[in-house]
Amino acid sequence: MIKILRQHLIDRLTDDLENLDHVLNFFVPIKAERNTYLVEEGHICKNVYFVAKGCLQVFVYDHNMNETTRDIVTEGSWCSELISFGSGKPATENIKTVEPCELLAINKLNFQELLKTVPQFDRVYKQILEASYANSVFRINTFVALSALDRIKWLMENRPKLMSRVPGKLIASYLGINKDVFSRLKAKL
């Protein structure tokens, strides 16, 4: 697992690899079965996770206990409920495993220590935040403008492996489409 994170950091740091082994020592490997909650709404998020293998769902429940998925996170990506992680306040989102996962976790104390003492880690963290923000803004703006069918086409073009990897109900939730409408429209493609 740690080799995957090592390569991920090398790809972002290129030739500035001083302290790399020091940084990697702060991460704890975790194996989680399918449908394991890493963060639950109302509880404090204590870790940032790097996904070495597997798939995570970031979501909220509506008043009818239906899931609305904000993100589906796969290998080589980071995941956390950053507002709760940073503030220490209860999470407003849930994060659970969609399939068995191999994760590398870092807690808040160690995370903050690395941000203060290792400039390269701070730089990677800023890159991750910027990419996450850009992805969220793009997704929100695009989905507001696209029809349900066009959202499915967008997913097929931009994240094609998700269509065969995760259940249709989860994809429908991610795209903001009723699962029956999703099934009907997908059949037309």
Q: Say what the pLDDT of residue 20 is.
A: 85
Q: Which of 34 and 64 is assigned the larger pLDDT?
A: 34
Q: What is the pLDDT of residues 84-130, one digit of tens each?
A: 999 999 999 999 999 999 999 999 999 999 989 888 888 888 888 89
Confirm if 21 and 93 have CB atoms less than 8 A apart.
no
Q: What is the pLDDT of residues 127-175, one digit of tens each?
A: 888 988 888 888 888 888 899 999 999 999 989 999 999 999 999 999 9
CA angle (29 as vertex; 75, 56 as ends), nearest 5: 35
pLDDT bin (cut points 50, 70, 90) of residue 16 is low
184 alpha-carbon distance from chain centroid = 28
Q: Can you give the pTM of this predicted structure?
A: 0.90
Q: Which of 117 and 43 is assigned the larger pLDDT?
A: 43
Reported in sequence order, the residue ranges of 40-82 that DSSP labels E, i.e. its strands, are 47-53, 55-61, 67-74, 78-79
Three-state secondary structure readout of 84-151: HHHHCCCCCCEEEECCCEEEEEEEHHHHHHHHHHCHHHHHHHHHHHHHHHHHHHHHHHHHHHCCHHHH
Q: CA dist 123 to 75, 95, 130, 149, Å?
A: 21, 25, 11, 38
pLDDT bin (cut points 50, 70, 90) of residue 29 is very high
Domains and CATH numbers, the chain: 2-117 (2.60.120.10)
pLDDT bin (cut points 50, 70, 90) of residue 81 is very high
- What share of the chain has pLDDT > 90, as a percent? 65
d(CA 112, CA 128): 15
Confirm if 34 and 47 have CB atoms less than 8 A apart.
no
| Number of CB atoms found within 10 A of residue 79's CB | 23
Q: Is the pLDDT of residue 64 over 70?
A: yes
CA angle (94 as vertex; 145, 87 as ends), nearest 5: 100
Q: Say what the pLDDT of residue 111 is.
A: 93
96 alpha-carbon distance from chain centroid = 10
Please state which of the ranges 27-36, 52-61, 101-110, 174-183 shows the lowest mean pLDDT: 174-183
